[in-house]
Amino acid sequence: MVRPPPRGGRAGPGEYKGLAIERAAYFCKCIREAFPKGRISPETYLPLVASRKGPDPDDHVHSAAVVAGGATVVLSADKTGYPPIDIAPARRRNPDTFVLELLRRYPRDLIGVVDAMGASMREPLTHGQVLDRLATAGVPRFAARARETG
């Protein structure tokens, strides 16, 4: 099992979007391992970047990749960064709403994922500790419901 690097305590240089470079690299590695066929080559999406209309140019590359990759859903709490015209036919879903729906449909599976997340940490976390972290990471309603469920 791959273990995450320790959390960096400083901001500024050495960070990418609020994550220490090592943690950002680890996060990307986990995504690549979980979705090995999910990589979209830059040659496919870069030509689409200039035609994106969203208010944040940093999101344009992601919107272009959504279209080039044929995604059906974009998980983002950002209500303005992914306008429908930029990601069609995909649609933006709020991550908290999305995982709540999954919990309603597959409660045992999702609770199992929460427990596996805790067990895979360098210093294992309890079910409640994982839910605490998920709540602060942007899925507080899911965390509360999962606490009631499992």
Kindly report the pTM of this predicted structure. Answer: 0.75
114 phi and psi angles, rounded to 5 deg:
-60, -45
pLDDT at 18: 64
Tokens of 50: 């200039």
Quote the pLDDT of residue 2: 43
Would you place residue 6 in the very low, low, confident or very high pLDDT band (cuts 50, 70, 90)?
very low
| Reduced 3-state DSSP string for 78-105 | CCCCCCHHHHCCCEEECHHHHHHHHHHH
